[in-house]
């Protein structure tokens, strides 16, 4: 009895599959077109080549003032303090901490991340100008630029970060090897 039921069941499945006449369209027409204004209001991404960087500029001295007011409470007065989020250690420094100076491969990431997520207690509250100033301060503190360098949408992507040359792409690919 059980066997006959299962055979009937299998036949039914076969018929159901054979009888499946679904047609999947290339497009469904769900959702709506986004306007350029809608895209611009959300698109804050910045590429390593500088695409997406806004107008504005910054210098280290002004950045230091903003840093002390809005960042130092977590990152320490100079950024060199051994916090969990240490920001400053020039390339070659023997510290074990990964910092902008000894680890970050692209300077554009500094601007992008600060503007996205900082300060921690008021994310997204900084003006583009403030972010440029802070970026200049952090680059200067990490001995990547000098204190007179103006950071803007042209100069920022030109900076070659000290750790950039250390980066290699993942080459693990499964199989019987450990990488």
Partner 1 sequence: MDQEKKLPRRAMIKAAAISATAAFVGKVNLPATEQPTNDDPTKIQGTPPGKVGTRSPFEQPSKKASDISGRTPLQDLYGIITPSDLHFERSHAGVPAINPDKYELLIHGMVERPMIFKLKDLKRFPAISRIAFIECSGNFRSGKETMTPQEICGLTSQSEWTGVMLSTLFREVGVSPKATWFLAEGSDAAVMTRSIPVEKGWKDAMIAYGQNGEAIRPEQGYPARLFLPGWEGNMNVKWIRRIELSDQPFMTREETSKYTETIKDHKIRQFSFDMDARSIITYPSYPQEVEKGWIEIRGIAWSGRGKIERVEISTDGGKHWQYARLQEPVLDKAHTYFRYLWHWDGSPTEIMSRAVDDTGYYQPFLKQLIDARGAEMGGYHLNPVTSWLIERGGRVLFKPEKWK
| Of residues 17 and 33, the one with the C-beta less far from partner 1 | 33
Smallest separation (angstroms) from partner 1 to the CB of 148: 26
| Of residues 11 and 49, the one with the C-beta less far from partner 1 | 49
**Cis geometry, peptide bond prior to residue 119 (ω within 30 degrees of 0):** yes
List CB contacts of 163: < 8 A, sequence separation 6 or more: 91, 101, 102, 103, 104, 105
Alpha carbons 139 and 78: distance in angstroms, whole number: 12
Q: With contact defined as beta carbons under 8 Å apart, do 103 and 23 qualify?
A: no
Q: Which tokens go with 87?
A: 């920001």
Using the Cα atoms of residue 168, residue 149, residue 122 and residue 50 in order, give the sign of their dihedral. Answer: negative
| Of residues 11 and 34, the one with the C-beta less far from partner 1 | 34
Smallest separation (angstroms) from partner 1 to the CB of 4: 26
| Of residues 4 and 42, the one with the C-beta less far from partner 1 | 42
Smallest separation (angstroms) from partner 1 to the CB of 170: 4
| Of residues 115 and 133, the one with the C-beta less far from partner 1 | 115
Smallest separation (angstroms) from partner 1 to the CB of 121: 10
Q: Which residues bind partner 1 (CB under 8 A)?
A: 24, 26-28, 30-34, 38-39, 42-49, 98, 100, 103-106, 108-109, 112-113, 116-117, 120, 123-124, 163, 166-170, 172, 174-179
Smallest separation (angstroms) from partner 1 to the CB of 179: 6
Burial of residue 156, with CB atoms counted within 10 A of its CB: 0-12 exposed, 13-18 middle, 19 or more buried: buried
**Residue 151 DSSP label:** E
């Amino acid at each position: 009895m059980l066997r006959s039921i299962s055979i009937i069941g299998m036949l039914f499945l076969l018929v159901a599959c054979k009888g499946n006449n679904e047609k999947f369209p290339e497009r469904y027409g769900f959702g709506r077109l986004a306007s350029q204004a809608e895209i611009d209001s959300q698109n804050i991404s910045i590429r390593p080549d500088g695409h997406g960087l806004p107008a504005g500029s910054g210098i280290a001295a002004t950045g230091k003032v903003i840093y002390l007011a809005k960042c130092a409470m977590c990152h320490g007065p100079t950024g060199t303090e051994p916090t969990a989020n240490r920001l400053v250690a020039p390339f070659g420094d023997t510290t074990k901490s990964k910092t902008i100076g000894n680890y970050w491969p692209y300077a554009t990431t500094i601007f992008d991340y600060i503007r996205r997520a900082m300060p921690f207690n008021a994310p997204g509250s900084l003006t583009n100008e403030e972010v440029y100033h802070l970026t200049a301060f952090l680059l200067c503190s990490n001995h990547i630029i000098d204190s007179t360098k103006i950071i803007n949408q042209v100069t920022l992507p030109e900076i070659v970060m000290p750790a950039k040359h250390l980066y290699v792409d993942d080459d693990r690919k499964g199989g019987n090897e450990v990488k």
